[in-house]
Amino acid sequence: MNEEILISGRMNPHIDPTLGIWGWEIPLYLFLGGLAAGILFFAALYSLLGKEKELPTAVRKATFLVPIILMVGLGALFLDLKNKLYFWQLYTTIRIESPMSWGAWILMLITPLSMAWCLSYWRDLIPNWTWQLKFLEWVEVFVQKYRKTFAWTMIISSVILGIYTGILLSAFNARPLWNTSILGPLFLVSGLSTGAATIMWLSKEKLERSLFSKIDLLLIGIEVFFIIHLFMGFMASNAAQIEAAQLFLGGAYTLPFWGGVVLLGLVIPAILEVMELRGKHIPVALPAILILIGGLVFRFIIVDAGQISQYFY
Amino acid sequence: MRYAMIIDTKKCVGCSDCVVACQNENRVPIGYCRDWVIENAKGTFPNVSIELRSERCNHCENSPCVRCCPTGASHYENGGLVMVDRSKCIGCGACVQSCPYNARYSHPDGFVDKCSFCNHRLKEGKNPSCVSVCPTSCMYFGDLDDSESQVSQLLKNRGWKVLAPEVGTKPQVYYLI
Ligand code: SF4
Ligand code: SF4
């Protein structure tokens, strides 16, 4: 048998045998970014479609979570930095070639945007509220007046944010598992689906719930299609990508991925939602939680496995 | 000016002197390294061959690490050197992921570090310390834009390869084979 053995004299226990420099922070950040993008996307979409009354959770209630989600996400990104005191260097340049850079900038844009959106609905939450700060009242009135423009900005920036969470990884040609352009759309759809699941979970209206249940079903379908596409692409690609795909087709990540992400995070919630739509009584929290956990595990697995996949030379 | 390093795999004996010289010269913390030696054995017995390679950052002409750096800390310098500006690096790790040769590591002091071709020595007209210390003189350093230079001549007269050219990074460390 033709064999090849590599012996490395690299005395570097901190980076060998793999370069696992990204721990839990980056996958969590990617998950929360996608989730926030999903919620904001639907809020803006249904606000533009004039469904504010019929879909109160999507347009208003769920968005109150977004600033918190984004803060935690940014916190995770911050923790990932090895030189935390220098984080401001991110905001001294815009580097179009670097996804990390425009990710940092899009978050800088979307966080205040989501806060302003929440402010404009604050009186829903506490009807007789009076603002202590004149500025906040001004923001409230401003957003209410220009809601359409705000919604459009939010739709566009949430799609960019959702796609970015995938492109951050797919831009690395050194990691064959990540280096596929389907990762951007796949992470976007997965983010939208976690957003829809959250809205469905929070909603008290029957109509809204069943709408988001249907949306979720559609998104799960697209996700499964993208995942098949992803592996078809790998198998038709070069040796490095075939090797990377093997991690999921018999390798160490086979069970966590097909069992934890595809079955528990996509197929089972889809079945539960179909049953619910057919009139069976199923607690809505169940599929929602499964989808959210599935989305989180998905990011952990992709980030982890990608760091193992390499070129051989 | 276009710096390049050439390493003769036929002369290398795998002693790792280059590794120790670099750790000393560049005060690389214990447990880390900027260069390392790979022993690559392949074939079917009894037709086996062995190749010894001293590896490090390839100072790629099309470097993904410079492209993905969000702050501009990773940058090109004179002669095509790829350098890290420690005062700009936030340690996000993007460049570590982007390098197909795993040449970068995260320094415990909070920045990313890698081979600099001993830029500080080049400025004094010296060779990188790994090149100067090699007991078999299997490493060469010089300017590829000068067609008379030793490195240009070697690439003209000997068979050579670069590592993982399929990734498209255009590495500037050449291996004579
Ligand atoms: S070898 Fe790696 S670190 Fe060095 S220039 Fe190329 S991509 Fe960058
Ligand atoms: S770790 Fe430092 S050098 Fe590397 S990409 Fe991040 S900021 Fe740039």
pLDDT tens-digit profile of B8-53? Answer: 999 999 888 999 999 999 999 888 889 999 888 888 888 888 999 9
Nearest-CA distance B64 → chain A (Å): 8
User: Amino acid identity, residue A5?
Assistant: I
Classify B3-176 by CATH class.
alpha beta
From the alpha carbon of B111, which atom of ligand 2 is closest? 2
**B140: Cβ below 6 Å to ligand 1?**
no
* CA distance readout (Å), A257 to A197, A227, A249, A294: 20, 11, 10, 9
Q: What's the pTM? A: 0.92
CA distance linking residue B28 with residue B22, whole number of Å: 8
Nearest-CA distance B168 → chain A (Å): 9
Mutate to test the interface with B, among A1, A12, A308 (most CBs of B within 10 A): A12
Is pLDDT at B112 greater than 90 in this prediction?
Answer: yes
* Ligand 2 residue neighbourhood (C-beta within 6 Å): B 69-71, 73-74, 84, 89-95, 112
Interface predicted TM-score (ipTM) of this complex, two decimals = 0.88
Q: Count CA within 13 A, CB hemisphere, residue A168.
A: 31
The residues near A88 (Cβ < 8 Å, ≥ 6 apart) are none
Per residue in A108-119, pLDDT (tens digit) is 999 999 999 998
Nearest C-alpha in A relative to B37 = A9
CA neighbor of B103 nearest in space, from A19, A225, A125, A53: A19
Nearest-CA distance B58 → chain A (Å): 14
Residue nearest to atom 8 of ligand 2 (CA): B69
Picking from B68, B91, B99, the nearest residue to A83 by CB comes out as B91
* A269, two tokens: 């919630």
Per residue in A208-244, pLDDT (tens digit) is 999 999 999 999 999 999 999 999 999 999 999 999 9
Question: Among B84, B107, B116, which residue has the most ligand 2 atoms within 8 Å of its CB, making it the best to mutate?
Answer: B84
Q: Give chain A's residues under pLDDT 70.
A: 1-2, 9-20
Residue nearest to atom 1 of ligand 2 (CA): B91
CA distance linking residue A220 with residue A266, whole number of Å: 6
CB A268 within 8 Å of CB A290? yes
Looking at chain A, the whole-number percentage of residues with pLDDT higher than 70 is 96
Q: Which domains, and CATH codes, for chain A?
A: 25-308 (1.20.1630.10)
Q: Annotate A132-189 with DSSP letters as a single string.
A: SSHHHHHHHHHHHHTHHHHHHHHHHHHHHHHHHHHHHHHT-TTSTTT--TTHHHHHHH
Residue nearest to atom 4 of ligand 2 (CA): B95
Per domain, the residue ranges of chain B are: 3-176
Nearest-CA distance A281 → chain B (Å): 47
Ligand nearest to the CA of B94: 2
Residue nearest to atom 7 of ligand 1 (CA): B99
**B64: Cβ below 6 Å to ligand 1?**
yes
